[in-house]
Structure formats: C-alpha cells, structure tokens
C-alpha cells in the first residue's frame, strides 16, 4: 500500500486519538471517552509498526511515534489508592521491611547506639572529654537549656506555649533534614551514612554524659526519653537505608553496579518513607509533650518507657499475620 493511501485511510483515526489524548492529558476526559482508549492505542501501535516495516517517510513515522509515546505515557500511568497504600505500609509493610533488612538495621543500630552509649559513659567518667567533641560555648548553651532552675526546658529554654508551633516546625526541618542526609550520603559507598551515624551518636552521647555528670540528668532525661524513642530509632533506620545503598555499590553480587544500586534504592527509599513518619511523630511529641512542664519526671519516664516499648513492639511484631488487620 502506498503511503498516501495509508494516510488517507487512517488520518481520521489518528486525529480522534490525538483529541482523546489531549483530553486525558488535561485530566478532563470522562469515562465514556476513555472506554476505547486501549483499543485505539493498540491500533495506533499497529499502524506505527506497519509504517516502519513498509518504509514510509520519516515525517509520518515521527508523527505516529509521538502519538504512541503520548499514549504509552497515559496507558502505563500507575494510579493506585495512595491512602490505602500508606495505611497498609504503616500497619504492616514498614515493620516487615525493617525485619527483612535486619542486617543493615542491626549494623546501623550498633554503630549509632553503640557510639552513643560509649561516648556517654566515657564523658560521664572523664568529664573533660566533652570539650573534645564540642566547643566550649556549645557546651555552655546545652547547660543553659537543661538547667533545672529554668522554667521550661528544651532546645530553646525561654519560650511559652505559643511557641510550640515554632518548635514543631523547627524539629521537623532539623530532624528530617538530618535523616535525609544520613540516608543520601550512603551513596558514597556507605561512608556518608557511617559518618553521620557515628557523628550524631558521639554528639548525643557526649551531651547526655555531660549533663548527667553535672547533675542536670533529671531535666535532660525526662525531656528526651519520650521523643527519643521515635527520633533515635528513625536516625538508625535512615542510616540502615544509607548503608544498604553503599553496600549495593561495594558488593553488587551478580548484577552490574548500576542495576544493583537501582534495586537497593527502591527498597531503601521505602525505609526512608517509614523514617519520615517516625520523625513527624517524634517532632509532635517533642513539641507538645516533652516540653510540657505539668507532668512530673516520673510520669515522663513512664510514658517514655512505654513509647520505647511501643516502637520496639511495632518494629518486631507488627505485620506478622498473613492478613491485613481487620
């Protein structure tokens, strides 16, 4: 068949398909209009294949290719119910994922909590060590924040309840930023995640050890124990996700490095999704519960311990059943 005849026969179809595509791209297509879309797309692909195998002109082929490309974009659009997916992920998917990646989680947790505890103990017994990791004025600021004589405690001691909003924003920005950095820098063969895990572990450990040693322990621990459950676990998990990226580059197995990285990134970014949820919770707790001075330290310790147990139980036990919870 000559090209002009072919064009003449199908031109109307292509124009109709083009109009349909435009409607869908603008999101204004009604369901009636979309009914024939799959069939139209298929027949367009057939026309393109025919045009190519018959050696028709570049202009016609380019035109059909463009239509096929646009059709492909609309046809393979992944539209899944985001809300349901998110709920399923939080209820079961995330803890399952954490358990499936337990090797990285254990390593990251050991690095982070290990360095934290070690530094804390060291500073507690050798107080001068704190000046090895922090500048003198930074230490002074920390002391001021958790001074038992201050009316309210937290990162900004002089504040009233109207500031809770400001702190909530600050915690989100700061903590999620740190978690994202810990994850992303894992791409540098895992070194970045390693650095951020150890660095944050050492800093937090030094502060904790120092404040306990100088007798501010009660204000400090009662403040941090509540949100620490979510926040510290989240940092460790972000580190685990970053280490997974680096490990895929170092030990790609039988795959090419790029491919191994792509697969690892697909999994670890879901871990980061869970980390974001954790940090939002932590920021909420830190702004509205930890800084509240109505509750006595005993209550705060009890609630904090409860939250730690909750986090552990969630990560270890949730989503073990085969079915979604009713």
User: Which residues make up the interface to another protein (CB under 8 A)?
Assistant: 2-5, 25, 41-42, 45, 48-49, 53-59, 62-63, 65-66, 68-69, 72-73, 76-78, 82, 162-170, 172-173, 176-177, 180-181, 183-185, 187-188, 192, 245, 258, 261-262, 264-266, 269-270, 272-273
CB-wise, 23 or 265, nearer to another protein? Answer: 265
Q: Smaller CB distance to another protein: residue 170 or 314?
A: 170
Q: In the complex with another protein, which residue's Cβ is closer, 55 or 215?
A: 55
Would you state the structure tokens that stand for residue 135, as one six-digit string? 């500048």
Distance CA 241, CA 246 (A): 9
**Residue with smaller CB distance to another protein, 208 or 235:** 235
Considering the complex, what minimum distance in angstroms separates the CB of residue 241 from another protein? 10
Q: How far is the CB of 100 from another protein (least distance, A)?
A: 16
Q: Minimum Å distance from CB 145 to another protein?
A: 18
Q: Do the beta carbons of residue 191 and residue 246 sit within 8 Å?
A: yes
CB of 72 to another protein, least distance (A): 6
Min dist CB 163 to another protein, Å, is: 5
Minimum separation from the CB atom of position 132 to another protein (A): 26
Q: How far is the CB of 73 from another protein (least distance, A)?
A: 6
Taking the least distance from each CB to another protein, the nearer of 180 and 301 is: 180
CA distance from start to end of the chain: 61
- Least separation in angstroms between CB 87 and another protein: 15
> Which is nearer to another protein, 273 or 297 (by Cβ)?
273
Question: Which of 56, 146 has the CB closer to another protein?
Answer: 56
The 3-class secondary structure across the chain, one letter per residue, is CCHHHHHHHHHHHHHHHHHHHHHHHCCCCCHHHHCCHHHHHHHHHHHHHHHHHCCCCHHHHHHHHHHHHHHHHHHCCCCCCHHHHHHHHHHHHHHHHHHHCHHHHHHHHHHHHHHHHHHHHHHHHCHHHHHHHCCHHHHHHHHHHCCCCCCCCCCCCCCCHHHHHHHHHHHHHHHHHHHHHHHHHHHCCCHHHHHHHHHHHHHHHHHHHHHHHCCCHHHHHHHHHHHHHHHHHHHHHHHHHHHHHHHHHHCCCCCCHHHHHHHHHHHHHHHHHHHHHHHHHHHHHHHHHHCCCCCCHHHHHHHHHHHHHHHHHHHHHCCCCCCCCC
Residue closer to another protein (CB basis): 46 or 296: 46
């Amino acid at each position: 068949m000559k090209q002009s005849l072919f064009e003449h026969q199908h031109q109307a179809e292509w124009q109709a398909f083009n109009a349909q595509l435009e409607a869908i791209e603008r999101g204004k297509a009604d369901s009636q209009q979309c009914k024939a879309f799959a069939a139209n797309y298929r027949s367009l692909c057939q026309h393109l294949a025919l045009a190519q195998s018959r050696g028709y002109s570049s202009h016609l082929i380019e035109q059909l290719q463009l239509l096929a490309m646009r059709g492909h974009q609309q046809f393979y659009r992944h539209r899944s119910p985001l809300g349901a997916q998110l709920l399923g992920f939080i209820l079961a998917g995330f803890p399952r994922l954490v358990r499936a990646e337990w090797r990285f989680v254990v390593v990251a947790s050991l690095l982070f909590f290990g360095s934290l505890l070690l530094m804390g103990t060291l500073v507690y017994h050798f107080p001068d060590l704190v000046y090895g990791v922090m500048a003198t004025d930074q230490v002074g600021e920390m002391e001021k924040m958790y001074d038992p004589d201050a009316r309210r405690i937290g990162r900004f001691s002089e504040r009233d309840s109207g500031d809770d909003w400001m702190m909530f924003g600050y915690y989100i920005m700061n903590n999620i930023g740190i978690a994202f950095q810990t994850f992303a820098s894992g791409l540098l063969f895992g070194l970045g995640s390693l650095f951020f895990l150890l660095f944050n572990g050492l800093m937090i450990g030094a502060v904790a050890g120092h404040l306990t040693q100088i007798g501010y322990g009660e204000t400090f621990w009662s403040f941090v124990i509540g949100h620490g459950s979510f926040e510290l676990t989240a940092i460790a998990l972000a580190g685990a996700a970053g280490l997974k990226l680096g490990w895929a580059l170092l030990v790609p197995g039988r795959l090419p490095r790029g491919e191994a990285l792509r697969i690892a990134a697909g999994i670890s970014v879901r871990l980061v999704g869970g980390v974001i949820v954790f940090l939002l919770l932590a920021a909420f707790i830190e702004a509205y519960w930890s800084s509240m001075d109505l509750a006595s330290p005993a209550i705060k310790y009890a609630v904090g311990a409860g939250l730690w147990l909750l986090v552990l139980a969630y990560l270890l036990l949730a989503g073990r059943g085969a079915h979604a919870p009713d």
